[in-house]
Chains A and B, each alone.
Chain A
Amino acid sequence: GAVVSQHPSWVICKSGTSVKIECRSLDFQATTMFWYRQFPKQSLMLMATSNEGSKATYEQGVEKDKFLINHASLTLSTLTVTSAHPEDSSFYICSGTGTGGPQGQFFGPGTRLTVL
């Protein structure tokens, strides 16, 4: 299957700082990328959907000014958590879709964010 990478795999930051997470599709062009968040013992919750070159569409309850998403190319999307706070500590995972098919989305390995 297609490969999606995320960087960094884990990050610890101080409250009030900003953190950028990169998501790359390595062997396919991801026309659409998704960002999810997973809190402990909860399901993956979609935060936003982004199409290359367009503004991201955010799910209800997700602050677009706090979670900045850039999808500048067909292989790269970034999520920036601005002015992070401890409640933003979570597992962030991205996915991308290419030419479609029954497999849905190809997921990255995720980024563990801990805000102190």
Chain B
Amino acid sequence: DQQVKQNSPSLSVQEGRISILNCDYTNSMFDYFLWYKKYPAEGPTFLISISSIKDKNEDGRFTVFLNKSAKHLSLHIVPSQPGDSAVYFCAASAGTGANNLFFGTGTRLTVIP
């Protein structure tokens, strides 16, 4: 049972525009959410996170929004850059910090120069 879902397997965006990656979850016990970025032949690297007590967290060009009632979060990248092209994974954990992570299937972002 997939508790974290990323329904868009791929996304293409023009350089300089906004990229919006979406993630949905089903487990209401999840209270911590993370986004990871993965380049080919490398492991996922942490990008940004948000606790369930917040609805927004911003770090430079990256902003994560959390809508608990809809069990939905999104990652906004603005402006998008070609170096942002990668696979982005959404992950969630429940009550145990960021150890027991449940991952989505990933969205491949391509930023077109």
Chain A interfacial positions (CB closer than 8 Å to B)? 1, 4, 6, 9, 32, 34, 36, 41-46, 49, 93, 95, 97, 100, 102-110
Contact = CB atoms under 8 A, between A and B. Distances in A.
Given A9-B41, A42-B105, A109-B41, A49 B100 contact: yes
B43 A95 contact: yes
Nearest to A5: B43
B45 A105 contact: no
Given A93-B43, A103-B98, A104-B101, 9 more contacts: A36-B103, A46-B101, A95-B43, A100-B97, A103-B34, A103-B49, A104-B46, A104-B49, A110-B43
Interface string B87-105: 0010101000111111111
Interface size class for chain B? 20 to 34
Interface of B: 2, 4, 9, 34, 36, 41-46, 49, 89, 91, 93, 97-106
Nearest to A97: B99
B99 A105 contact: yes
B101 A107 contact: no
B98 to A, nearest CB: 3
A59 to B, nearest CB: 10
Nearest to B98: A104
A32 B99 contact: yes
Contact of B100 (A46, A103, A109): A46
